[in-house]
Amino acid sequence: MLSRSFKLSLRFILPLAVLLGLFAYILVPLMDSLTLRWSVRDLDNRSQLLASTLQLPLREYVQANDRVRIKRLFDSAVQDERLFALAYCDSNEKLLYQSASYPASLGCWNEPADGSKRRSLVRLPRGPVHVAETQIRDDASVFGRLILVHDMSFIERRSAETTKYVLGFFALLAVAISVLTLVVSHLSWRGWLAGVKDVLRGQLGRSARAPSAAPSPEMEPLIGELRGLMEEYHEERQRSSGESGAADWAPEKLKSLLQQDLAGDEVLVVSNREPYIHDAAADGTIRVRRPASGLVTAVEAVMRACSGTWIAHGAGSADKETVDRNDHVPVPPDNPRYTLRRVWLTKQEEQGYYYGFANEGLWPLCHIAHVRPVFRSADWAEYVKVNRRFADAVIAEARSDNPVVLVQDYHFALLPRMVREALPKATIITFWHIPWPNSESFGICPWREEILDGMLGSTILGFHTPFHRKNFLDTVDRYLETRIEQEASTISYGGELTQVEDYPISIAWPDYPDLAPVEQCHREIRDYLGVPRDHLLGFGVDRLDYTKGILERFQAVERMLELHPGMVGRFSLVQIAAPSRSDLEEYMSFEQRVRQLAAAINERYAGASAPPIILKIEHHEQEDLQRYFRASEVCMVTSLHDGMNLVAKEYLAARDDEGGALVLSQFTGAARELHEALIINPYHIEQGAEALYRGLTMPVSEQRERMRAMRDRVRRFNVYRWAGHMLLDAARLRKREKVMQKIRAHSRGGLRRVG
């Protein structure tokens, strides 16, 4: 065992020794060079000081031609152990006076005949010397030079001593590190290394050959589980390495993953917004409507693949008429794939929980959109009550004690903890669809600790981007007593472990066989809008929300027309703004500002053949939006702050002709993936205007190159991959928890036997 650990330790020691030797090899010449440079600078300064001292008496003695005094002056000066010799040359370069030790080979130390520069360091047979000169002047002119020669042998001795000390230091350092490495490695590996090596090699329990060392009884329960985890790791690696296209992450694969890795557990989705709304029409019929929501777009595709139950707030005027006695309705209506369970809220509950705390408090708090969040105790009370209502619905719908619960968004920050208390074995995956602010900003919320505690009831907690994930970890670290593993991105809180990761959400890569060709959409949309067939169109579709940058988008259009007057009458932006939260004062005011700005821009260009802004504040079905996507030259996504924004990805998916251009805000999560888009700062109006103009005039070849790259990424990283990775991580954590439970059970059994 010792020899094996020693051999393994040599793998660390030998590279370390080579590295230290390399450092010494580089450092010693460097120190010699630095020492020489410093010494030369010191001798230059010393020569100048000494020459200044000798100049006055030397000038008098030379003018008097007093050789005796000059010799006495030189002999006195060279008593200094470092000053080796002195000499004086007249203006005719004739050596007149010199000390007895002055080298004859130096002469008057003239410039070399080849025109090269004189070197202050000269190597003589006796060793290296430093030579310097100073001009001797009278009041009118220079009549001679004083040459000073310093001995430099002491520098070589100093350099040799320094080299010896440096090499000795590195040698001692290498020995100390090597000994420490041997001791630590031997102590660390002893007792369990052989067992782990056998597991990793697949030998334990699979080979007739005896293991190199039998595992201790305390390790036996862990060995089997460790092997299982390693096999799972290799299988996951194989699955991940095979992700070459959208077909690898399809609905079938997601369903298979749920059955195999999570033992076929049922899926329960919880969200405030329902995927299908039943409204009563004026003629008494019931109309089914899909809400304008990126959350619904993504999660609904997952539920179609996995089935299960979606629990949501029933807000449609005919919702109660379409459910059974258990408040269930099968959806989609044309081809039911899963069950929608509706929860009913009173006006007071909806006002406090949804419009109040969620959308006047948390929404502006998490979106840096310069709207002040409002927090009221009454709203918080309703938020807690509604979260409890939905948690009870989850518990009632669960057919087992370990369901997979997908909690969606900021409306249910408290629900994970509530469900965890009733169903401790449940796999709770919470996804936060909006940004997470920095810890200081989140501290504004009066109930910050309660919200964090509720969210940490989750098994998996997902955000769109690494930036939002890091903000959450920093917030938890600041306001709760937890243990955070930054590298593993896990939070241990109250004896429970939560994995916090970034999972960029996406869409189900669509295949639109029934959608009209791009040319037909191009023609029909322009006929519907009443603009010429060759009219250029930009397109924007958002909820009517102050975070979406709609006002800034309109200003960019106006500025583009100012900078490029040739576009007046040739371009219009079609803006579809789905009404949202219209009961809130901030949203009512925002809608008024949007209408006023659109009207002002259109009035300014009233003489044009088509208005610059075509504003439609109304809901549109997904099929209609696809036709607009395919008919527009540019799609504008100018959010001031957003989690992901799936409009950008939906636009790309709709453009199977690989035409069009995407203008995308840098403050969206999508901008971190779609680098080929025209990325802008929506607050910079001129930048948005120029990006819009560039998109409208972009060559077809460039459009295709950019669009092809972005479409390929969205196709590969689709919503099934998003959900699949969360489920894989959840399955891994569940297996890890089972391992830990067995270890704890074994430890308790061992303690009882000892007792």
Residue 634 has what DSSP assignment? E
Closest Cα partner for 610 from 552, 522, 534? 534
Which CA distances in Å does 643 have to 64, 252, 259, 434, 722? Answer: 94, 28, 30, 4, 15
List the end-to-end C-alpha distance of the chain, in Å, as a whole number. Answer: 33
Residue 404 has pLDDT above 70, yes or no: yes
CA separation for the pair 59, 134 (Å, rounded)? 12
Contact yes or no for 343/313 (Cβ under 8 A):
yes
Residue 212 has pLDDT above 70, yes or no: no
What's residue 492's pLDDT?
A: 92
Residue 189 has pLDDT above 70, yes or no: no
Characterise 460 by phi-psi region: left (phi > 0), alpha (psi -120 to 50), beta (else): beta
CA separation for the pair 622, 641 (Å, rounded)? 24
Annotated domain spans of the chain: 26-159, 196-241, 269-502, 518-717
Query: How much is the mean pLDDT over the chain?
Result: 84
CA separation for the pair 403, 262 (Å, rounded)? 9
CA separation for the pair 548, 575 (Å, rounded)? 12
Angle at 93 between CA 90 and CA 96, to 5 degrees: 50
Q: pLDDT of 553-576, one tens digit each?
A: 999 999 999 999 999 999 999 999
Q: pLDDT of 675-731, one tens digit each?
A: 999 999 999 999 999 999 999 999 999 999 999 999 999 998 888 888 888 888 888
Residue 270 has pLDDT above 60, yes or no: yes
Q: pLDDT of 494-515, one tens digit each?
A: 888 899 999 999 888 866 667 7
Which CA distances in Å does 425 have to 166, 228, 406, 418, 457? Answer: 62, 21, 14, 13, 11
The model's confidence at residue 443, banded by pLDDT at 50, 70 and 90, is very high
What's residue 230's pLDDT?
A: 52
Residue 753, token pair as written in the block: 């036997």
Burial of 380 (0-12, 13-18, 19+ CB in 10 A): buried
Pairwise pLDDT comparison (363 vs 109), residue with the higher score: 363
Residue 709 has what DSSP assignment? H
Residue type present at position 179: V
State the chain's maximal CA–CA distance in angstroms: 133
Closest Cα partner for 218 from 742, 728, 737, 703? 742
Closest Cα partner for 270 from 426, 159, 80? 426
Strands 95-98, 83-90: parallel, antiparallel or unpaired by DSSP?
antiparallel
CA separation for the pair 31, 159 (Å, rounded)? 8
Q: pLDDT of 240-258, one tens digit each?
A: 444 444 446 777 777 777 6
Residue 237 has pLDDT above 70, yes or no: no
pTM equals: 0.65
CA separation for the pair 535, 42 (Å, rounded)? 80
CA separation for the pair 156, 121 (Å, rounded)? 13
What's residue 136's pLDDT?
A: 83
The model's confidence at residue 213, banded by pLDDT at 50, 70 and 90, is very low
Query: What superfamily in CATH does domain 26-159 come from?
Result: PAS domain (3.30.450.20)
Q: pLDDT of 64-121, one tens digit each?
A: 888 888 888 888 888 876 788 889 898 888 888 888 888 888 888 877 766 666 777 7
CA separation for the pair 358, 678 (Å, rounded)? 33
Contact yes or no for 525/628 (Cβ under 8 A):
yes
Residue 617 has pLDDT above 70, yes or no: yes
Residue 170, token pair as written in the block: 């590195």
Q: pLDDT of 343-358, one tens digit each?
A: 999 999 999 999 999 9
CA separation for the pair 145, 134 (Å, rounded)? 6
- CA atoms lying within 13 Å on the CB side of residue 518: 13
Burial of 321 (0-12, 13-18, 19+ CB in 10 A): exposed
- Please indicate whether the domains covering 26-159 and 518-717 agree at the CATH topology level: no
- CA atoms lying within 13 Å on the CB side of residue 514: 2
What's residue 755's pLDDT?
A: 52
CA separation for the pair 473, 465 (Å, rounded)? 13
CATH of 269-502, one of 3.30.1330.10, 3.30.1300.10, 3.20.20.80, 3.40.50.2000: 3.40.50.2000
The model's confidence at residue 3, banded by pLDDT at 50, 70 and 90, is low
Contact yes or no for 99/78 (Cβ under 8 A):
yes
Architecture of domain 518-717 in this structure: 3-Layer(aba) Sandwich (3.40)
